[in-house]
Amino acid sequence: NWDDVSVSKANLKEIEKVMKNVYIETYGCQMNQADSEVVGAIVKTAGYDLTNDLYEADIIFVNTCSIRENAELRVKKRLIEFDGLRKKKNWLKIGVLGCMAERLQTQLVEECKVDMVVGPDAYRDIPELLSQSNKKAGISVELSTEETYADIVPIKLDTNGVTAFISIMRGCEDFCSYCVVPYTRGRERSRDPQTIIAEAKDLFSKGYREVTLLGQNVNSYIWNKGKEDEINFAKLMAMVAEVNPLLRIRFSTSHPKDISQELLDTIAKYENICNFIHLPLQSGSTRMLQLMNRKYTREDYMAKITAIKNTIKDCGIATDIIAGFCSETLEDHNNTLEMMRWVGYDSAYMFNYSQRSNTLAAKKYPDDIPYEEKTRRLEEIIELQRELSLQSNRKDVGKEFEVLVEGQSKRNDKQLFGRTSQNKVVIFDCKDFKPGDYVKVKIVDCTSATLFGESL
Ligand code: 5AD
Ligand code: SF4
Q: Is pLDDT of 210 > 80?
A: yes
Q: Among the atoms of ligand 1, which is closest to the Cα of residue 29? A: 15
223-237 pLDDT, tens digit per residue, is 999 999 999 999 999
pLDDT at residue 1 in the model: 43
375-431 pLDDT per residue, tens: 999 999 999 999 999 999 999 999 999 999 999 999 999 999 999 999 999 999 999
185 C-beta closer than 6 A to ligand 2 = no
Confidence label for 137 from pLDDT (cuts 50, 70 and 90): confident
Ligand 2 centroid to Cα of residue 350, in Å, is: 15
Which alpha helices (H) appear in 137-274, and where do they start and end? 181-185, 193-205, 233-241, 261-269
pLDDT in tens, 189-203: 999 999 999 999 999
Using pLDDT thresholds of 50, 70 and 90, give the confidence band for residue 362.
Answer: very high
Residue 321, C-beta contacts closer than 8 angstroms, at least 6 positions apart: 280, 281, 282, 283, 336, 340, 348, 349, 350, 351, 381
Rg of the chain over CA atoms, in angstroms?
Answer: 23
Is residue 114 pLDDT above 70, yes or no?
yes
* Segment among 120-134, 226-240, 248-262, 392-406 with least mean pLDDT: 120-134
Ranges 157-161, 168-172, 272-276, 307-311: which has the least confidence: 157-161
Instruction: Establish whether residue 316 lines the binding site of ligand 2, counting it when its CB lies within 6 angstroms of any ligand atom.
Output: no
**What is the C-alpha separation between 331 and 287, in angstroms, rounded?**
10
Q: Where are the alpha helices (DSSP H) in 206-324?
A: 233-241, 261-269, 286-291, 298-311
Helices of type H across 163-292:
181-185, 193-205, 233-241, 261-269, 286-291
Q: Which residues line ligand 1 (CB under 6 A)?
A: 67-68, 178-179, 280, 282, 320, 322, 351, 353-354, 356
The reported pLDDT for the residue numbered 259 is 95
Tell me how far apart the alpha carbons of residues 270 and 328 are, in angstroms, rounded to a whole number: 41
Check the CA dihedral 439-157-184-111 and report its sign: positive
Q: Determine the distance from the C-alpha atom of residue 148 to the mean position of all C-alpha atoms in its chain, rounded to a whole number.
A: 16
Distant-in-sequence, close-in-space partners of 135: CB < 8 Å, separation ≥ 6: none
Q: Name the average pLDDT for the chain.
A: 94
7 pLDDT tier (thresholds 50, 70, 90) = very low
Segment 3-22 mean pLDDT: 59
Own/partner long-range contacts of 85-91 (Cβ < 8 Å, ≥24 apart): 85/54, 85/60, 89/58, 91/58
pLDDT of 136 reads 78
pLDDT above 90 for 305:
yes
How is 20-68 classified by DSSP, letter by letter? -EEEEEE-SSHHHHHHHHHHHHHHHHTT-EE-S-GGG-SEEEEEE--SS
What separation in Å is there between the alpha carbon of 448 and the centre of ligand 1? Answer: 24
Span between the terminal Cα atoms of the chain, in Å: 70
Res. 276: pLDDT tops 60: yes
Tell me what pLDDT residue 2 has: 45
Q: Whose CA is nearest to atom 1 of ligand 2?
A: 179
Q: What is the pLDDT, as a whole number, of residue 124?
A: 97
Identify the bridge partners of residue 169 per DSSP, sorted by sequence position.
190
Phi first, then psi, for residue 450 (nearest 5°) are -145, 145
Distance between CA atoms of residues 106 and 85, nearest Å: 22
What is the rounded CA–CA span in Å between residue 277 and residue 280? 9
CA of 282, closest atom in ligand 1: 17
What pLDDT digit, counting tens, does each position of 44-60 carry? 999 999 999 999 999 99
- What average pLDDT score do residues 118-146 get? 90
Ligand nearest the Cα of residue 67 is 1
Q: How many residues does the chain have?
A: 456
Alpha carbon of 294 to ligand 2 centroid (Å) = 9
Separation of alpha carbons 417 and 95, rounded Å: 35
The answer, yes or no, to whether residue 30 has pLDDT greater than 70, is: yes
The per-residue pLDDT for 360 is 97
- Check residues 158 and 229 and name the one with the higher pLDDT: 229
pLDDT band (50, 70, 90) for residue 68: very high
Across 319-346, b (16+ Cβ under 10 Å) vs e yields bebbbbbbebeeebbebbbebbeebebb
DSSP string, 396-415: HTT-EEEEEEEEE-SS-TTE
Torsion sign, CA atoms 330, 305, 252, 348: positive
Percent of the chain at pLDDT exceeding 70: 95
Closest ligand to residue 353's CA: 1
On the question of pLDDT at 9 being above 60, the answer is no
- Mean pLDDT in residue range 63-85: 96
Among all bound ligands, the one having the nearest atom to the CA of 185 is 2
